[in-house]
Amino acid sequence: MVNEIVVDVQLQETRVALLEDKELVEIYIERPCAERLVGNIYRGRVSSVLPGMQAAFIDIGYEKNAFLYVGDAVSQREYSDDEDELYQELRGHNIDEILRPGQEITVQVIKEPIGTKGPRVTTHITLPGRHLVLLPNADYVGVSRRIENDQERCKLKKIAEKIKPKGMGLIVRTVSEGKHEEDFSHDLNFLLKLWEKIKQKEFSGPVPRCIHKDLNLIYRAVRDFFTRDVDKFVINDRQQHSKVLELVEMISPALKMKVEYFSKNYDLFEYYQIESKISKALARKVWLKNGGYLVIDRTEALTVIDVNTGKFVGASNLEDTVLKTNLEAAKEIAKQLRLRDIGGIIVIDFIDMKEHEHQHMVLDTLKNSLKKDRTKTTVLGMTSLGLIEMTRKKVRQGLSSMMHIDCPYCDGTGKILSPEAVARNVEKEIKNYFSQTIANAIQVEVHPTVAQVLTGMDGHNLAEMEKAYGKKIVIKASHEIKHEEMKIREIDIDSLVC
């Protein structure tokens, strides 16, 4: 498999695309006008404490107060990294015993503001490096779950326990697989110095304020994505290319030869055919290679994915056709979740399968396909209705939210009133207009589809309206007017040409 990182630097935005065998699998967008908050550390002030929600709102200087849940406010210093054990320990804590309004507190953003919600923050600070993540306020060692070899996990954990600073914690990142103790020393020293700088800023200065900003998108791409499994790192900006080389020289010199400056007089994303792939990633319908298709519908609460056989009719029997479609759909769904960065609750409606063995095959295929996803996913299983329920951690706005805004005509519903419904509203406005004026003639300007309904076959509807009001009504069709809009104005009846 050929893995590539393609970085498109423009004045208004920077985009990083991750390609696997020329296929777009992840896309990240950063704009100067929309500052990224995740990873930033703030000295904030408790705005309000809500015991009923076991949460508090923290003023971090952002337009919306940040949300702090009790589980993110309790010190983890004495706990393990086992989530079930941690949950049991947290049940005995009350938020109003930990925080009070007006109290100053240091927090880190773990989730971007989405929609009407402000950012989510935690007091469990994490400082990611190339190979390690430093946990200044915890006291345990963890190893990335993506490293599956038990012997390698054991080796890395022993190394981390040996070099772990007293009273702090460490997590060994996936990129550290196969590394040795000497590979971690530079990383750890850098992170300890960074934490020392943050501590020096913590108690000096106004509150609220930002005391640490995470790296920009290009540097994060080098730190988090550029591993030995990547064959090429392509960037189209000369200045940023030089900075990338400097960073790679510091963290992994062997990768310098894979960094390439794109000097062609051609759009980088067009050259790699990424623009067309982004357009497909925004579509509601996704076609499968065998002729089946997915329909992806998103709401504020959850995402629903429906699987259909479409053009695929199979070759042997119905069960075989359904199984093949569902298996291919399972792989494509994992890819689409990662590409679109869909988070939250996800419900998948696969085509009904009678055989339990087939159901397990589809479920296993989905789980295995999700292993490539860096974002935490949990497949909860299949319901009695044959629906698969799963969750995917929501950290930032998905691709659709970055690229789309709600339609000003339909307010994001994807639906507008039918011409008949609009015509009915126009008739009400005409009646209201005549009741408030002494006009003998009016012109009604509407969209052509609505004009057709108002006029009726051979002008019958218009004639009936004029008879009802005893007035002259002129219907003007205009493509320049919006589908649900109307413009009514009085006109001089003597100026009308018969």
Better pLDDT: 301 or 261: 261
Coil/strand/helix, residue 172: strand
- Assign 453 to helix, strand or coil: helix
Confidence of residue 78 (pLDDT cuts 50, 70, 90): very low
What does the pLDDT read at residue 315?
61
Please report the pLDDT score of residue 430 as a whole number.
93
Question: Residues 196, 221: contact at Cβ < 8 Å?
Answer: no
pLDDT confidence of residue 221: 93
The fraction of the chain above a pLDDT of 70, given in percent, is 94
| pLDDT given at position 255 | 92
- In the block, tokens 């109290």 appear at 103
Under 8 Å CB-to-CB from 56, ≥6 apart: which residues? Answer: 46, 47, 48, 49, 50, 68, 73, 95, 99
Query: What is the rounded CA–CA span in Å between residue 135 and residue 455?
Result: 72
Contacts of 243 (CB under 8 A, 6+ apart): 218, 219
pLDDT band at 320 (very low <50, low <70, confident <90, very high): confident
Phi, psi of 28 (to 5 degrees): -125, 135
Average pLDDT over residues 115-129: 90
Is residue 80 scored above 70 in pLDDT? no
Give the single-character DSSP code of 361.
H
CA distance 6 to 220: 13
Separation CA 454–CA 446 (nearest Å): 9
pLDDT exceeds 80 at position 494:
no
CA–CA separation, 103 and 29 (whole Å): 35
Distance, in Å, from the CA atom of 184 to the CA atom of 236, rounded to the nearest integer, reads: 31
More confident residue, 5 or 399: 5
Q: Which of 234-238, 355-359, 373-377 has the highest mean pLDDT?
A: 234-238
pLDDT of residue 79: 44
| Range from 231-235, 353-357, 380-384, 455-459 that averages highest in pLDDT | 231-235
- Confidence class of residue 85 from pLDDT cuts 50, 70 and 90? low
Confidence of residue 32 (pLDDT cuts 50, 70, 90): confident
% of the chain with per-residue pLDDT over 90: 56
* Residues whose CB is less than 8 angstroms from the CB of residue 99 and which lie 6 or more positions away in sequence, other chains included: 46, 49, 56, 68, 73, 105
Q: Which pLDDT score is estimated for 242?
A: 95
Phi, then psi, of 270 in degrees rounded to 5: -70, -40
Is the pLDDT at 92 greater than 80? The verdict is no
Looking at this protein, which amino acid is placed at residue 326? N
pTM for this model (two decimals): 0.78
Q: In this model, does residue 291 exceed pLDDT 90? A: no
Q: What is the pLDDT of residue 146?
A: 83
The answer to whether the CB of 247 falls within 8 A of the CB of 368 is no
- pLDDT given at position 81: 47
Compare 216 and 406 and report the one with higher pLDDT.
Answer: 216
Per-residue pLDDT tens over the stretch 160-217: 999 999 999 999 998 888 888 888 888 899 999 999 999 999 888 899 999 999 889 9
Query: Averaged over 373-390, what is the pLDDT?
Result: 87
Q: Among 375, 299, 290, which Cα is nearest to 324's?
A: 290
Peptide bond into 165 cis (omega under 30): no
Pick from 287, 221, 226: nearest CA to 256: 226
d(C-alpha 431, C-alpha 437), whole Å: 10
Mean predicted lDDT score pLDDT of the chain: 88
| Best CA proximity match to 49, nearest among 94, 88, 86 | 94
Stretch 377-394: mean pLDDT: 87
